[in-house]
Structure formats: structure tokens, C-alpha cells
Structure 1
Amino acid sequence: MKDDRKLRGLYQKVIEGAASSDEQALVARWLDQLDTDEGMDEQAADEWKARSIAELQKAIKPPIPIQSRARKFVWVASAVVVLLVAVTALLIRFYNQQPTEVKTSSQVLAYTEHSTTAGQRKLLTLADGSRIWLGNVSTVRYPKDFQPGKREVFLEGQAFFEVSPDSTRPFLVHTGGLNVRVLGTSFNVKSYSDEGVQTVSVATGKVSVKPTNDGQEWMLEKGQQVSYHLATKKGVMQETDLSAALNWKDGELIFRDMSLDEIAVQLERWYGVTITIASPSVNNRQLSLSVKDEPLQAVLKMLSLAGDFRFEIRGNHVRIWK
């Protein structure tokens, strides 16, 4: 603060024409030596610029006594011009020292995010022409502009991907436990955080599937599926019923030898309800059913006949018992 007051005093003396040659030289040296940190970010640079201009304004704005001698008036005007030129030159030098903004792969990317609620599905079309059918209670996130060497998508929940071919930019899907890589194909990914198993099912082409932190890799072709168990970090590749794995995107629910527990989870997401199974004895009954655009009441009626249980719907809550 003491140095600031001294400099302001010297500014005033220079402007009023009262500064000695030594004082004028001191101000000139200060202006010449003034520099900034080359690592300063844009916000700090703006603040520095504002402070510099404010300091200059403080130095030149105080009322200047009217001088009767024209020579003194000319000298004062010249001093103001010199100060303005000096500070302007310093600002130009400062901004020339700042690194030019370059977009690199390490730069923070802007993302687009889409989510669905229970009973809701969405069809999304990406900039490259690829399409995503987003399932119930799911979220997908991807850069607004894909990077030159890859197309990355992050998924929580379920989605069916129809990928436009591009040999120079592989299409990557990241879940909480798996990395899926393709060049141009169609496949389904199911990855809910509250389930212990993640699955990838292939409809066309070939798909590479690798766990996030593991050396395993599976190459899947049409009709094949890998089920990856998060707890054991083990995966099983097998042939699958594509209609059961993929028809959800067309509004069809297909259950093939599934326990009532597993079916209840899907019904909750599909219809936006909470299901309580009050009788443990019916939890593990294996049931099969295929329905499309049916109300919950009708679906539960068909399941209850096959599973020999009773149910009650009250608002958004369903109770099942023996």
C-alpha cells in the first residue's frame, strides 16, 4: 500500500508538471519494468487489465489547475499522452505473451445429456447419423462434437445403438463396468447401477467388449451376448434370443423363464410403479410372457395365472402375495 501511494503521488506530480527529472525517470522505469505472470488465466488477465486502466484513470482524472501559461498546459497534455501510450504498450505486450487457445484432446469438452423416466423411451439421432433408442430410467451422455479419432458415449441404464460406419472413428460405449467398441453395427447394452449384471447383445456386425479394469475381451457377432458380473468380474458369452433382448425398443415386453423378482424390476421401470412381493415363496418362480402395449393390470393378471399368486394395485404401488 505504501508503494501504491508513492506511485500515485508521482503520477500526480508528473501530470501537474511538478515532478523532477529523477521522479519522471522513476515512473518511466516502473512502466517499463511492469510485467505479468505468463501463466495468468483469462479471468486474471481481465482483472489485471481493469486494475491497470483504473490506476491510470486515478492518475489522470483529478482536476488539473488551470494554468495561465500555454507551455505548461501543453506539457501536461503531453504527459497524459505518454502515460496512455506506455500503458497501452504494456497491455499489448501482456496479451501477446499469453498462449493462444488451442483445442486439444485434453481440453474439457461440452456434453449433451438425455435421460428418461419410468415408462419413457427416447429415440436420439447423433451428428454422425448414428441412432440411440434410450430405454426406461436411463441416461446417455456424449460430446456435442465428437473428437477426430473417436466417437464416445457414456450410458447408465439401457440403450440400443445403430451405429453409422466410420473406419477412422470407432464408436465407444462406456458403462460402469464395460467398454464396448464398434466401427459400424447395431447392438444393445443393459447397464443399470442397481443390478449386478451388465449385458451386451449384438444384432448386426461385430462388437468388442472389454471390462473397464481387466484384460479380458470378447468379440461378439450377431445373436451373441456377453453377461458380465460386476461382483466376480467374470463374463459369460453365449447365444441369445434377440427378440427378448431387443424388442423393448418397439414397446414389447418379453420374459423368457425369468423369476418374478427379475420381472418385477422391469415392470417397475416400464410402468413407473413400486412392486412389493410379500410372499417369498413366489419370488423365484420362472415365468414366460410376451406382451405389447398392454396395461399393467392385464400384464399382472396373466402373470398371476401362470405364477399362482394374487396382486393388488393401489395408485403407484403393487402388492403381490401367495
Structure 2
Amino acid sequence: MTRKMDHHLLEKYLKGDATAEERRQVEAWLEDAPEEWVDAFMAGQHGPAFPGADKAAFTERVMDRVRPRRARWLQVAAVLAGLLAAGWYLLKPDKFKPRAPEMVDIFVPANKTGAITLPDGSKVIMNAGSTLRYAKNFEGEARAVSLSGEAFFDVQPDTEKPFIIRSGGLSTRVLGTSFNISAYPGARKLTVTVLTGKVSVQDTLSHRAVTLLPSQKAVFTPESALLSAETVSHPENEIAWRQGRIIFDETPLLEVAEVLSRRYGVQIVLQGDHLAQCRFNGQFEHDSLDAILRMITRLTNTRAKRAGDTVYLSGKGCASPN
């Protein structure tokens, strides 16, 4: 039965800090240690597994110096070579370990929008309450970003390096195009709307995917894990928020409440399930929340009561949902 070895003792051994007794303990353990302990050692508390190519190269170099005199040491030498290579890897992190890319986090607070230019020249306009995260220099084989919230992307073409946005349960892949993504945490649906070019949208769990062309939208419902594509009559309405405008076109009142909650940094609560599917039409530009609520209550037969950062909508509502 293989004896368990303390990782801290192994590290002391590899660094040359072990006492004579500790060296004997390690060498005794090496006699019956399986070779997979090399990877187990690296995958424990010491970071990622040793890269295969580097591990093979270092093992070969160490084995050139380690020539056991007895057959029983052949396995020991192989394991020791791997551990020595691992030790070299640990002691030379800057040279042999993959360097973690420097990450950039951009956050836009409620009732504001923000515009940024990414390292490749792509433009991003972010809606209120949104966060974008990406590697500072777009290192790697893809231009990958993570989005929580809503943003409009105008991506620079690069056939050698696709642009990938991870947002909620969706992965959106493009080469060069313009599109809008809405993927706020807790939202009842996530959407990707294409204005120009072509976009592939994939559910990261099921790997189902849809391909979108201009004036098409992908809709993903996290609760049911359904991903579908539909045609959009007025795709420009999806990005009206860039000019500070909000457009509701036969929009369910529950969705209206979600949009306004995110935009103004409040929580709008519908008191009664019968209000959820009331439809609302309206266009607003730089209007105050109170002005919008007055319009909503007048057209949906509801009343609004505000308590701090929470707004309660109640009342009879629509006689019959449209």
C-alpha cells in the first residue's frame, strides 16, 4: 500500500531544504509511489498541472543525470525525475508557468451609460447596471469578454481571432459585426439582437445553438433552458437606450418593471399576478422615474406607492390581458 506523503515535505525536498531524516522519508516513499503522484502533487495545492511538453523535456534532462544502480530504483528514478521537474516548475514560475493575464473590469452604475474601446479597436456601449470583464491585451486564441447586464458591441473584423462574449448561460461568437446583448442576472430572459453581420449564439449547458442574421434575435429563457430565434420588426428599438431612450412596444408590465428597476436602481414590485401580462406602450427620453410611473399607472389602471428604493404597483390593472 502506497504511503501518504506530506506535500510540504516534498516541496522542502525539491528545494533542498529537507534534513537528512526527511530526505530518507521522501526517498523511502518514492520506492513504491505510483507515477501519477507527480501530477497529483502538482494538481494539489501547488497550482495547475505541469504542462505535458515541459514535463517531458525536464524529465528527460533530469533522467540524463539520474542513473540508478539497482533495478528497484528504476521506478524511483522516474518518479524523482518527474518531481524534480515539477520542483523546477514551482521554483521558476515566471519562466515556465503560464502568466495569468491582467484583467480589466468596467462597471456602469444605475441611470448611466458608458462607452469603451477594447484592445482590438472594438467599441462597446454599456447600459446601466452592467459589468464587462476582459483580458487587458486580449491574450490567447480568442478575444473573450464576460458581460453581466446589457451592452451594444461593434466588433472589429478579425478572421484569425474570433470575438466571444460569455453572458449568463449564453456564449456569443462573432468575427466582426454589431449586435446588442441583454443578460442581466436574474432576468426572465436573455437576448441577443443582430444589427449587422452574422452571430452564433450557444446555450453553454446544452450546447444548442442558433445563427442570427440582421434583424434577428436570440431569446434564451433560463428557467426552461429554451433557446430560440425570432425576427425583429424594429431592431433599432433594442438599442434606443444608447441615446437615453426607453421604448416599450406591447411590452408585458412585468418586463417593464424589470427594465425600469435596472435603469433607475430601484425595485418595482407588482402586487398581484394579474398585472404581469398587462401590455404597455410608451417612449421616454431622459424622463424621471416618477414621470414614467405616472404614465404607466394612467394607462394600465394601476397605482404606484414608493417606499425608499421600492415601488409597489397595485390595482385592478387590465380588464383582460392583451
Q: Smaller-chain TM-score range?
A: 0.5 to 0.7
* TM-score in terms of structure 1 length: 0.66
Is 1:254 the counterpart of 2:247? The answer is yes
Amino acid at match of 2:314: W
1:303 matched to 2:305: no
Whether the aligned pair in 2 keeps the contact of 1:140 and 1:153 (CA below 8 Å) is yes
Q: For residues 204-242 of structure 1, what are the alpha-carbon distances to aligned partners after superposition, in whole Å with 9 as ceiling and x for unaligned?
A: 111111111223221111100010122322211011131
Select 1:141's aligned residue among 111, 133, 138: 133
Partner of 2:145: 153
What percentage of residue pairs aligned between the two structures are identical? 30
> 1:151·1:169 contact (CA, 8 Å) conserved in 2?
yes
Output the amino acid matched with 2:264. Y
Unaligned runs of 5+ in 2: 1-14, 19-40, 43-86, 316-322
Instruction: Answer yes or no: is the 8 Å Cα contact 2:210–2:228 preserved in 1.
Output: no
Q: What TM-score, normalized by structure 2, do the two folds share?
A: 0.66
Q: Secondary structure at the match of 2:94?
A: coil
- The number of residues matched between the two structures is 235
Once the two structures are TM-superposed, the CA of residue 158 in structure 1 deviates from its matched residue by 0.9
CA shift for structure 1 position 100: 7.4
Q: What's the secondary structure of 1:196's corresponding residue?
A: coil
Aligned mates of 1:274, 1:231 — CA distance in 2? 21
Q: How does 1:259-278 map to 2 (within 5 A)?
A: 259-278=252-271
Task: After TM superposition, list the pairs within 5 Å mapping 1:276-295 onto structure 2.
Answer: 276-295=269-288
Q: CA deviation at 1:252?
A: 0.8
SS at match of 1:202: strand
Letter matched to residue 308 of structure 1: N
Aligned counterparts, 1:54-93, within 5 A? none
Change (3 A) 1:320 1:229: closer
- 1:228 equivalent to 2:220? Answer yes
The code of the aligned residue for 1:281 comes to H
Query: Over aligned residue pairs, what C-alpha RMSD do you find?
Result: 2.8
The whole-number CA distance in structure 2 between the counterparts of 1:285 and 1:203 is 29
Unpaired segments ≥5 residues, structure 1? 1-33, 41-93
Query: What code does the residue aligned with 1:212 have?
Result: T
Give the 3 Å change call, closer, same or farther, for CA 321–231 of structure 1 in structure 2. Answer: closer
Q: What amino acid is the match of 2:225?
A: K
Equivalent residue for 2:210?
Answer: 218
* 2:236 pairs with 1:243: yes
Retained in 1: the 8 A contact 2:193–2:215? Answer: yes
What is the CA-CA distance between 1:320 and the residue it aligns to?
Answer: 2.1
- Is 1:113–1:140's contact at 8 Å kept on the other side of the alignment? yes
In structure 2, distance between residues paired with 1:226 and 1:202: 9
